[in-house]
Structure 1
Amino acid sequence: MFEISVTCDPDDTDRVIDTLGNVFTTWSAHRETTPDGSRTRVHLSLDHRPAPQQWPVPEQAYATAPSIISEIGWVARTAVDRPFGTEMSREFWLRKAALLDRIALSDNVAPPVSDATEDADRAARRLMDVDDAAVICDPRHYVRQQYARHTADQ
């Protein structure tokens, strides 16, 4: 974290703060008028933004995935075989989200005939809830990342 002070024309103050906010994470901005009253001095607390995270493309994430038909069978069997009243495992939510993501991706190639994209988004958000993921990203990118990690660990 670091602090800077910027002296600028009063009409430019918001633009300066916004521009710095696009480059850095900002915590606070304190404004004061210079003694002669002609300029504004802004004191900002800043930090570097983390480097953008690289998300695997679907071809990378699902390179070793079982066939869609096989995964449909696994998800269905796992859902039916669980004891009543027990929570589904993280693996279930991950594989279900990945399965729906793959189906939705195929809808992008052919004319859409289903609600696969909405279902994939909903399942991806469910996985993020299960993981208590504190990331801000496209939920389906998160699924691909987690699925790639899961298969690498197998």
Structure 2
Amino acid sequence: MFEIRIICETPEADRITAALGATFRTGTIRRWPARTAGKERLYITADHRPDPTGATWPSPETAYAGAPDITEEFGSLASAMVQSMRPGATTDRALYLRKAALLDRIALLDQDINVSSDSAEVATDAARQLITLDLGGDGNYGGDPFWPEHPATDANPRGYVRQEYAHWAAHQ
């Protein structure tokens, strides 16, 4: 959920609110006069609409069904990261994907056992790193049903990691 603030010409206010209502789920629209004559301030609480195709993110259980044990993956990933830091080595997308998936799994575990930590925030940050990599990359991502530019990806970065991990794991 987010807030939108618009300053517009008074005659355009209805057209703008209708367009926003068609694009987002909107709450009550608050209208106030602007400091400039002939203009209005619009304040709208909005949220992304569900995907019209009905597509959903894979559940963690589905995405990580064949994933290695968290401890095993942690060790394997740490080793791969050390290797990637050597001079001349390159870091491939799979490393970022595995890191984001591991952090997502840790955050889910913390949630399941009621541990208060910042693991969800850390997992979300890692997911955003992967999305940024995919946005600037060569299209080497699954993108089904949500590609990195999709608004649903921005709204649920950890869902994107699960989608991409499931795709990656299925093609290993």
- Match of 1:74, SS state, is helix
In structure 1, the partner of 2:107 is 104
Evaluate the alpha carbon distance shift between residue 116 and residue 18 of structure 1 in structure 2; reply closer, same or farther with a 3 A threshold: closer
Q: Unpaired segments of 5 or more residues in structure 1?
A: 1-9, 24-48
- 1:19-72, Cα deviation, whole Å (9 max, x unpaired): 43448xxxxxxxxxxxxxxxxxxxxxxxxx852432100000001100001110
TM-score of the pair, normalised by structure 2: 0.61
Q: Which residue of 1 aligns with 2:74?
A: 72
Question: In structure 2, do the counterparts of structure 1 residues 51 and 119 end up closer, same or farther at CA, with 3 Å as the change threshold?
Answer: same
| Cα 1:72/1:17, change in 2 over 3 Å | closer
Partner of 2:68: helix, strand, or coil?
A: coil
Matches within 5 A, 1:33-52: 51-52=53-54
Matches of 2:134 and 2:21, distance apart in 1? 34
TM superposition score normalised by structure 1:
0.67
Instruction: Name the structure 1 match of 2:165.
Output: 147
Rg bigger for which structure? Answer: 1
How far apart in 2 are the matches of 1:71 and 1:109?
A: 19
Query: In the comparison of the two structures, how many residue pairs are matched?
Result: 120
Post-superposition Cα deviations, 1:107-145, rounded to whole Å, max 9, x if no partner, equal 111232532111101111111111112122211000000
For 1:27, the equivalent position in structure 2 comes to: none
| Amino acid aligned to 1:107 | D
Answer yes or no: is 1:13 the counterpart of 2:28. no
CA distance in 2, matches of 1:77, 1:20: 49
Corresponding residue SS for 1:92: helix
CA contact (8 A) 2:83 2:89 kept: no
Q: CA deviation at 1:17?
A: 4.1
Quote how far apart the aligned CAs of 1:95 are.
0.5
Partner in structure 2 of residue 4 of structure 1: none
